[in-house]
Chain A
Amino acid sequence: MKKFLFVVLALMLTLSVFAAGDKEAAAAGPQKITIWAWDPNFNIAIMEEAKARYQAINPDVQFEIVDMAKADVEQKLLINLSSGVTDGLPDIVLIEDYNAEKYLSSYPDSFADLSSSFDYSQFAPYKVKLMTVGGKTYGVPFDTGVAGTYYRKDILEAAGFRASDMENITWDRFIEIGEAVFAKTGVSMCAFDPTDGGLVRVMLHSAGSWYFDKNGKPFLAGNPVMEAAVATYAKLINSPGTMKTSGWAEWVGAINSGKAATISTGVWITGSVKAEATQSGKWALAPIPRLNVPGAVNASNLGGSSWYVLNSSKAKATAIDFLKQIYAKDNDFYQKILVDRGAVGSFLPSQGGSAYMVADPFFGGQKVFQNFSAYMQKIPSVEFGSYTYEADSAIASVLPSIYAGGSVADALKAAQAQLENAIK
């Protein structure tokens, strides 16, 4: 009997230690919304703005906006969802678009189905498509990664090129211009990290193709757009007009220091381009070059993210209402985040707003956000599928052999085999 008592006592002691942690979470009332996001200068700051606006409508609601590194948000979310314990989960979470389907299909029923809560025709169609799984739409589209080519007018003019030479061109023409610019001015046309395949994704998306076919099967080998994209990327990397960099800091440093004359990527780079105030007035914006394949357009996307509501949320209705009132209604909010944070939202009615009409002296008076808004509506819709990063890794592992002049078809076959094995 005594022995039994001891064991029970010991067990109770140990368990009480474990249980102590949970009490605080349970005490939270239903009118508190916890949000996870990752960039204090961007999505966190924007959520703070949204919070202030919603509290003006509904003062009873409290917010807890948690700032973590992006990798931490993803890891915490994965661990919580995988363990099946929902206590630690937030009410709203920001998820990168490339990862959206991975979460939605790997953790069925974990996210709230918002199909009937929002009028999705008011959002950029390509954003809505990537958060729709099995006919149900789950997220609230947030920022877009609409792509553009930012270029230094002064350097291109010194080499004899005008603004019209940058409009509506192919990547092959871009490489030609780059070589001429480099030969005449000694400034590199562009900077790229050869280990990073981000531009391959931009090229694929601009031609309405992706790493996977319509049934979600890997479509690297035998995909003509894929072949054109990696071959063009390899040509670009090997071009004398291209400067090779490693990592984000060197890449952005190349344009800020004036070593490279253009940067082709998502609209979120605007802040980094404008970081070098001495180059004010020298920059301009053009559409992104297109691939030389049928159906390719001069518009694409890189990155971007959206808000998702968790089904386990105790304040689910309030959280949905919050997103609806601000992100699907408040035009003025979108003007403010564009001016303050450079965030191009994907809520279409907001793009007729005053902030989109502003002529930016940094870009020589060009209305860049109006341009971006126009590019955005041309972005083809593709389905990213669950395995963007697996495919990215497979492509990155064969890129060096393509740079070295190896067969594109063979390299893609190897990448396809690796990808098929990775998603078993």
Chain B
Amino acid sequence: MKTIRQSGLVRHHSTAGFHRSTGWMFVSFALILVGVFSIYPVISSFLLSFQTGRGAVYHFNGLGNIQRLLKDTVFLQALKNTFVYFIFQVPIMIILALTIASVLNNPKLKFRGFFRIAIFLPCVTSLVAYSVLFKSMFALDGLVNRMLLAINVVAEPIPWLLDPFWAKVLIIIALTWRWTGYNMMFYLSAMQNISPSYYEAARIDGANAFQQFRYITVPLLKPVILFTSVMSTIGTLQLFDESMNITGGGPANATITISHYIYNVLFRFTPNFGYAATISYVIVFLVAILAFVQFKLTGDDHAA
């Protein structure tokens, strides 16, 4: 009796083990890849961030990299620039995207498909290609300056690439051009999920177009607006191509971003992988805070 039960148990156990190992086998490919290419680099770069040195020679530096970070004027400048970008660029872009989306959502508008594609198209162009194009368009004797001079908006060419202020403006223009259409698509699809009966009711109550937008469209799009603004903010933190290709981070580091600075530390300057890892963990840290804020805010939204 005992033996039978035991053997039954054993057999039961071994089939479960077989199923489990088959399951593990299927998962193992993904697990090994994730382990090698994702988990290991994360841990390894974290350890690296406590070391310093150059090239192939490294030694443990404790919190030295963080102390250095706090005194590093270029890093602080890069951090400041990144914040300037998202404080000015993200709201401009989101308001613009919302406005364009609500215009394009109007069923009476002709050639809607054409306009949608035209505004969406910039975000499928290559980052480098558009950056190079912007650089030449905004050169001192480039297309934009010639146009502004021709229509007498300015008396002399604007030094887009040479002046710290205008260079920042240029980066903001470039970012807005590239990403507005992308965000607009989110709003457009969300708007199409709003029942027309809300607007009908509002019209019967005598609400004008702006009131409809303000009190119906915007509140109903709130989760999408939140999502896009957090995504854009994270995108700004990782900004690299524009700073690298349009302005080269200059003039006088006025447009350099954190990611661009990491690149410089690794490839332009004497490579210090330890310090670069420390700076990249600053981005991780900032993104984590923003993601937390996002979860908090959207969570509240669901509760309400």
Give every chain B residue within 8 A of A75 (Cβ-Cβ). Answer: 267
Q: Tell me whether A102 is interfacial, beta carbon within 8 Å.
A: yes
Q: Tell me whether B71 is interfacial, beta carbon within 8 Å.
A: yes
Contact for B25 among A10, A102, A245, A397, CB less than 8 A: A10
Give the segment of A118-126, A260-268, A388-396 that binds chain B.
A388-396
Q: Tell me whether B218 is interfacial, beta carbon within 8 Å.
A: no
A-B contacts, CB under 8 A, total: 121
1-58 of chain B: CB within 8 A of chain A: 17-18, 21-22, 24-25, 28-29, 32-33, 52, 54-57
Give the segment of B111-119, B191-199, B246-254, B287-295 that binds chain A.
B246-254
CB nearest neighbor in B for A4 = B21
Q: Tell me whether B68 is interfacial, beta carbon within 8 Å.
A: yes
With contact pairs A244-B162, A390-B269 given, residues A3 and B17 touching in the complex (Cβ less than 8 Å): yes
Distance between Cα atoms of A414 and B72 in the complex (Å): 11
Q: Tell me whether B164 is interfacial, beta carbon within 8 Å.
A: yes
Interface residues on A, range: 35 or more
Give every chain B residue within 8 A of A418 (Cβ-Cβ). Answer: 72-74
Q: Tell me whether A387 is interfacial, beta carbon within 8 Å.
A: yes
With contact pairs A250-B140, A390-B269, A421-B68 given, residues A106 and B21 touching in the complex (Cβ less than 8 Å): no
Q: Tell me whether A21 is interfacial, beta carbon within 8 Å.
A: no
Per-position contact with B for A8-37: 1 when CB-CB < 8 Å, else 0? 001101100000000000000000000000
Distance between Cα atoms of A386 and B268 in the complex (Å): 11
Contact B29 A78 (CB under 8 A): no
Give every chain B residue within 8 A of A10 (Cβ-Cβ). Answer: 25, 28-29, 32
Contact for B264 among A110, A386, A393, CB less than 8 A: A393
Contact B17 A390 (CB under 8 A): no
Contact A106 B25 (CB under 8 A): no
Distance between Cα atoms of A348 and B56 in the complex (Å): 35
Closest CB in chain A relative to B32 CB, distance in Å: 5
Closest CB in chain A relative to B129 CB, distance in Å: 16
Contact B271 A398 (CB under 8 A): no
Closest CB in chain A relative to B116 CB, distance in Å: 35
Contact A108 B57 (CB under 8 A): yes
Closest CB in chain A relative to B202 CB, distance in Å: 52
CB nearest neighbor in B for A400 = B252
CB nearest neighbor in A for B14 = A2
Distance between Cα atoms of A417 and B32 in the complex (Å): 46
Distance between Cα atoms of A82 and B56 in the complex (Å): 5
Interface residues on B, range: 35 or more
Q: Tell me whether A317 is interfacial, beta carbon within 8 Å.
A: no
Contact B251 A194 (CB under 8 A): yes
Contact B73 A78 (CB under 8 A): no
Contact A422 B74 (CB under 8 A): yes
Q: Tell me whether B189 is interfacial, beta carbon within 8 Å.
A: no
Closest CB in chain B relative to A231 CB, distance in Å: 17
Give every chain A residue within 8 A of B250 (Cβ-Cβ). Answer: 195, 396
Q: Tell me whether A409 is interfacial, beta carbon within 8 Å.
A: no
Contact B28 A7 (CB under 8 A): yes
Q: Tell me whether B135 is interfacial, beta carbon within 8 Å.
A: yes
Contact A417 B252 (CB under 8 A): no
Distance between Cα atoms of A247 and B64 in the complex (Å): 37
Distance between Cα atoms of A7 and B23 in the complex (Å): 11
Per-position contact with B for A97-137: 1 when CB-CB < 8 Å, else 0? 00000110111101000000000000000000000000000
Contact A14 B252 (CB under 8 A): no
With contact pairs A6-B21, A6-B24, A393-B253 given, residues A81 and B55 touching in the complex (Cβ less than 8 Å): yes
Contact A106 B57 (CB under 8 A): yes
Give every chain A residue within 8 A of B97 (Cβ-Cβ). Answer: none
* Closest 7 A/B residue pairs (Cβ): A106-B55, A3-B21, A195-B251, A246-B161, A195-B250, A6-B25, A10-B28
26 CB-based A-B contacts, threshold 8 Å: A3-B17, A6-B21, A10-B25, A10-B28, A10-B32, A13-B29, A14-B29, A78-B266, A78-B267, A81-B55, A81-B56, A82-B55, A106-B270, A106-B271, A244-B159, A245-B140, A246-B139, A247-B135, A249-B139, A386-B270, A389-B268, A400-B252, A421-B68, A421-B71, A422-B72, A424-B68
